Chains A and B, each alone.
Chain A
Amino acid sequence: MNVIFLIARDSIRALLHQRLLIGLMLFSLAITIFFSIVMSRTRENITSQYADSGVETNSAFSKMSEEDRRKMNEAMEQGVSAIQGFFYAATSFGGSLVALWIFSTAITSEIRRGTIRLTLSKPVSRFQYLLGKYLGGVAVMAGYAVISSLAVFLFSTSSHVELSPAMKYAPWLMFCRQLMLGSVAMLLSLFMHPIIGCVIAFAAGNGLCSPNNPFYFLLPSYAPFNVFGQILQGSIMRGSDVWLLTLYALDFVVLMLLFSWWRFRNKEVC
């Protein structure tokens, strides 16, 4: 266990020293913050739009007719939902890129640089190495998910925007989806060039494969983890469904890790 922890810690350290990855993460965070700002501005714009049309101040909100108030709320909700939807899509895409980068290069970059030779010449089994590398990636992704969720929460609180109910569990499902995506990317990177692996891992579970395509049954469907529709419609998901999806993701990741281990234990690492 200690060895796995050490490899994971080393993996985190390695990831945090990758300038390109940090750049990608900062870019994704910038998108998050950008959409959060847009979200609060949208609310302000809608409010001021109604204020210009006769309602001068917030205190005058109560003097608005019932019809105007309803229209204003609807417009605000639609605007904010759309922005939240776009925000979710952008964050999810950015997070997926980060996950693909982290997991597809976790082992292959060590093989390419030759640093794996020294690590595996120590009493470290291939299983410990693989699991440590995966867990290191999970920790970095968790950090990224927490930071981007916090950014949304802070901006929505500071600008008094009520988040869509689906936004409450969206970061968790996004995180689960990214871990699944990462596990597939890691597995494929052990068979092929990591970039090709990333493209396949991303495309396979993102609607490019339909039940008519044989890959559909081999690779995961990330569709249930995508709550874009729920965010736009403002609908909610049951807690039990979130749990089931979490279990599915966990099972899936374990399965992918087992396949990865099967491949990695016989892989020549030079």
Chain B
Amino acid sequence: MAAIYTENLNKAYASFFSKQSETNALKGLNLEVKEGETFGFLGPNGAGKTTTILLLLNLIRPDSGAARLFDLPVTDSNVHRRLGYLPESVNLHDYYTGQGLLEFYAALLDVPIQIREARIAGLLQLLRLEDAATKSVSKYSKGMLQRLGFAQALLHDPDLLILDEPTASLDPVGRKEFREILVDLKKRGKTIFISSHILSEVESVCDRVAILQKGELKRVGTLQELSAGKSTRLVLKNAPGVVLEALSQTAAEVTMLRGQTTVKCVDTATREAIDRLLQQHGIQPERSEVETQSLENIFFSSIESPPRL
């Protein structure tokens, strides 16, 4: 069963005055996040990440298409029993104390009263908020609000966590701690859906990532799948002159060093041409390496560059 499933999800924000100036936030988004998976949702600003999350939470309605969580339509509020959500900008009721706010949310989530107190105390400790527990939320710093927001998302030990820019207001120590909590949740088989700008963070915890731009899904796959670049490097030992000459006629980059020839094929077509050429001359490459890309490279190669100013 998919924890998150969207089918041809479309959403446009209409302008009040003109239909022409409406913004297509999502264009036919098809997404599937399996249970137990840690899924990174990437994209530049305005890509439609937050819109997707708001649709999944039923806070806004799609123009067309469907979204389901654990096989239930997102319009069913019961599905929220299995869901924890941390919004991008954590706006909390500032008339509570930190502990009071968690008690309110725990009651809404129907956390059994016998374990409620211990659960809240545990989360306050985990997120280093125990000293601020009795302080009014209005006096919390941005980072503390983010941590309190994370605590409320974990209150009922949800099966699915939807985190929108979860570390935006955290300092490096807070980010590290947050990553450790995520790793722990991942080990416990929780499904985590993270929308983030911080690629290193996504890279370190996510099993699969999706890259979204202008409401369209550009790429989706495991980090291995996405990072397997098209570029390959072949290493030849003592290649004859005729072969070297033939290689120099191709689109491949050829470098020679101490009798070792390195042939870099930047695309599949070049690689196929080189393979044929080597076969004709009966040469077997000493080794063949597929160049991997960092998530940052994948990200930038997937999205269209913005126009230069």
List the interface of chain A (C-beta within 8 A of B): 2-3, 6, 10, 13-14, 17, 113-126, 266, 268-270
Q: A266-B61, A268-B59 are in contact. Are A121 and B83 (CB under 8 A)?
A: yes
Residues of the B chain whose Cβ atoms lie less than 8 Å from the Cβ of A266: 61
Residues of the A chain whose Cβ atoms lie less than 8 Å from the Cβ of B107: 2, 6
Q: Is the CB of A113 within 8 A of B108?
A: no
Contact flags B229-271 to A (C-beta < 8 A → 1, else 0): 0000000000000000000000000000000000000000000
- State how many angstroms separate the Cβ of A268 from the closest Cβ of chain B: 4
Q: A10-B93, A114-B87 are in contact. Are A120 and B58 (CB under 8 A)?
A: yes
What is the interface size of chain B, counting residues whose CB is below 8 A from a CB of the partner?
Answer: 27
CA distance A126 to B109 in the complex (A): 15
CA distance A124 to B83 in the complex (A): 12
A-B contact pairs, 29 of them (CB 8 A): A2-B110, A6-B104, A6-B107, A10-B93, A10-B104, A13-B95, A13-B96, A14-B93, A14-B95, A113-B91, A114-B91, A116-B59, A117-B54, A117-B59, A117-B87, A118-B85, A118-B87, A118-B105, A118-B152, A120-B57, A121-B80, A121-B83, A122-B105, A123-B81, A123-B108, A126-B77, A268-B59, A269-B60, A270-B54
Q: Is the CB of B110 within 8 A of A123?
A: yes
CA distance A187 to B64 in the complex (A): 27
- State how many angstroms separate the Cβ of B109 from the closest Cβ of chain A: 6
Contact flags B57-82 to A (C-beta < 8 A → 1, else 0): 11111000000000000000110110
CA distance A199 to B91 in the complex (A): 29
Q: Does B224 contact A (CB under 8 A)?
A: no
Q: Is the CB of B93 within 8 A of A6?
A: no
Q: Is the CB of A124 within 8 A of B152?
A: no
Q: Is the CB of A117 within 8 A of B91?
A: yes
Q: Is the CB of A121 within 8 A of B85?
A: yes
Residue from A10, A14, A113, A121 in contact with B57 in the complex, judged by beta carbons closer than 8 Å: A121
Q: Does B200 contact A (CB under 8 A)?
A: no
Residues of the B chain whose Cβ atoms lie less than 8 Å from the Cβ of A125: 77
Residues of the B chain whose Cβ atoms lie less than 8 Å from the Cβ of A17: 95
4 residue pairs, one from A and one from B, having the closest CB atoms: A114-B91, A17-B95, A121-B85, A268-B60
Residues of the A chain whose Cβ atoms lie less than 8 Å from the Cβ of B81: 123
CA distance A10 to B61 in the complex (A): 26
Residue from A10, A13, A123, A268 in contact with B109 in the complex, judged by beta carbons closer than 8 Å: A123
Q: Does B92 contact A (CB under 8 A)?
A: yes
The CB with the most chain B CB atoms within 10 A, among A10, A113, A126, is that of: A10
Q: Is the CB of A115 within 8 A of B85?
A: no
Q: Is the CB of A123 within 8 A of B77?
A: yes
Q: Is the CB of A115 within 8 A of B59?
A: no
CA distance A269 to B91 in the complex (A): 14
Residues of the A chain whose Cβ atoms lie less than 8 Å from the Cβ of B149: 118
Q: Does B297 contact A (CB under 8 A)?
A: no
Q: Does B89 contact A (CB under 8 A)?
A: yes
How many inter-chain contacts with C-beta < 8 Å in the A-B complex? 69
CA distance A123 to B77 in the complex (A): 5
- State how many angstroms separate the Cβ of B292 from the closest Cβ of chain A: 37
Residues of the B chain whose Cβ atoms lie less than 8 Å from the Cβ of A119: 108
CA distance A83 to B89 in the complex (A): 53
Interface residues in B101-158 by Cβ distance below 8 A to A read 104-105, 107-110, 149, 152
Q: Is the CB of A117 within 8 A of B108?
A: no
Q: A114-B87, A118-B87, A123-B80 are in contact. Are A269 and B59 (CB under 8 A)?
A: yes
**Closest A residue, CB atoms, query B108:** A122
CA distance A113 to B138 in the complex (A): 13
Q: Is the CB of B92 within 8 A of A115?
A: yes
Residues of the A chain whose Cβ atoms lie less than 8 Å from the Cβ of B78: 123
CA distance A140 to B284 in the complex (A): 85
Residues of the B chain whose Cβ atoms lie less than 8 Å from the Cβ of A117: 54, 57, 59, 85, 87, 91
The CB with the most chain B CB atoms within 10 A, among A117, A121, A268, is that of: A121
- State how many angstroms separate the Cβ of A131 from the closest Cβ of chain B: 14
Residue from A3, A115, A124, A268 in contact with B93 in the complex, judged by beta carbons closer than 8 Å: A115
Q: Is the CB of B59 within 8 A of A270?
A: yes
Q: Is the CB of B60 within 8 A of A270?
A: yes
Residues of the A chain whose Cβ atoms lie less than 8 Å from the Cβ of B110: 2, 123
CA distance A117 to B59 in the complex (A): 7
- State how many angstroms separate the Cβ of B107 from the closest Cβ of chain A: 5
Q: Is the CB of A122 within 8 A of B95?
A: no
CA distance A43 to B168 in the complex (A): 67
Residues of the A chain whose Cβ atoms lie less than 8 Å from the Cβ of B87: 114, 117-118
- State how many angstroms separate the Cβ of B20 from the closest Cβ of chain A: 21
- State how many angstroms separate the Cβ of A120 from the closest Cβ of chain B: 6
CA distance A125 to B77 in the complex (A): 6
**Closest A residue, CB atoms, query B106:** A122
